[in-house]
Amino acid sequence: MLFLWLYMFYSCAGSCAGLATRGSPAPPRVAPPLPQLLPPAPGEPAEESSLEEQRAAPDAASPISSFFNGSGTKRLPQAIIIGVKKGGTRALLEFLRVHPDVRAVGAEPHFFDRNYERGLAWYRDLMPRTLEGQITMEKTPSYFVTKEAPARISSMSKGTKLIVVVRDPVTRAISDYTQTLSKKPDIPTFESLTFKNRTTGLIDTSWSAIQIGIYAKHLENWLLYFPIGQILFVSGERLISDPAGELGRVQDFLGLKRIITDKHFYFNKTKGFPCLKKAEGSSKPHCLGKTKGRTHPDIDQEVVQRLRDFYRPFNMKFYQMTGQDFGWD
């Protein structure tokens, strides 16, 4: 009986449709509309490309397809943590990712220093998808000391917000050396690398561990392309002693509601820095990995003092440029 009913139904489908339209003119055939192309996301440069390229581009998804994918749209970052190495950039990024309106790349893209020839489309494809009102971010600490990075980021968007996490340059240099030592145990001592000539006390500024800490010099390059108000300087020391306070400043700078507060942190005495009570997408406490918080080797205090004397004038200039006293002396 069921088969008979199905047979009658499908047999009638064509003829019944014909009867329903008989006596009335057939509607004109209309070509299906072309897919609507999305305009560039806010802050992105308009890219010249063919219709076929834009249709094929994975980032040219319509709002409807994005809704069904449940994942939003890929955008170029509106904010970038540009430095500095061993300053606390990883901690800052992990803390920020707790905020529901921050979406960030986990790995360092190194686009503006190592992969620039791959193009903005490649860069944008690395970004997480965001919904309206969310901020796309990435962090690559080496950008701060890369001469070409300011012009390249400005070319992408002059409105990009920049964040620099800075730390006592002497402590930062020792931390940098400690990281290298963990990978290459046979490298020369910190003391021997610090000086071109230890007898005269001439500091070797060509050594990257020393050179990165001359913050004023690097900042001058950035100020050629960005106003000082578009760069936020986060204290690596206060990020440890008062993470909620520093995160409050960052959230204000990014135009975000202050959601990350004291209740999100606890202090891990073993590691010596704050950890998250709940990480992004998890209900469990989270601390940075074992590569963070390494014990520093003992450094000759005479060498430490020589370095403090060397950095002092640069620190003073940096304080003047930023309007902040970081208290490194």
Nearest partner of 329 among 318, 311, 321, judged by Cα = 311
Q: How far apart are the two ends of the chain, measured CA to CA in Å?
A: 94
Q: Which residues pair with 235 in a beta bridge?
A: 166
Instruction: Please tell me the distance from the alpha carbon of residue 128 to that of residue 58, in angstroms, as a whole number.
Output: 12
Is residue 73 packed enough to be buried (19+ CB in 10 Å), middle (13-18) or exposed (0-12)? buried
Asked if residue 106 belongs to a known ligand binding site, the reply is no
- Given 74, 86, 139, 161, which residue is catalytic? 86
Q: Is 282 annotated as a binding residue?
A: no
Specify the DSSP element, H or E, that contains 303: helix 301-322
Helix, strand or coil, per DSSP, at residue 231: strand
* Residue 175 assigned as binding residue: yes
Block residue for tokens 């990712």: 97
Query: Which three-class secondary structure state does DSSP give residue 289?
Result: coil
Q: Is 293 annotated as a binding residue?
A: yes
136 is in an annotated binding site: no
Type and span of the H or E element at 68: helix 63-69
Q: Give dist(CA 94, CA 234) in Å, integer.
A: 15
Q: Which residues pair with 135 in a beta bridge?
A: 102
Closest CA to 267 of 107, 91, 93, 99: 91
Name 69's Cβ contacts closer than 8 Å, sequence gap at least 6: 61, 129
Q: Is 255 annotated as a binding residue?
A: no
* CA–CA separation, 239 and 246 (whole Å): 6
Is 90 annotated to bind ligand?
yes
Does 139 participate in catalysis according to the annotation?
no
- 83 annotated to bind ligand: no
139 is in an annotated binding site: no
Q: Is 89 annotated as a binding residue?
A: yes
Annotated binding site: 86-90, 167, 175, 292-296
Q: Could you give the residue numbers annotated as active site?
A: 86
Annotated binding site for 3'-phosphoadenylyl sulfate: 86-90, 167, 175, 292-296
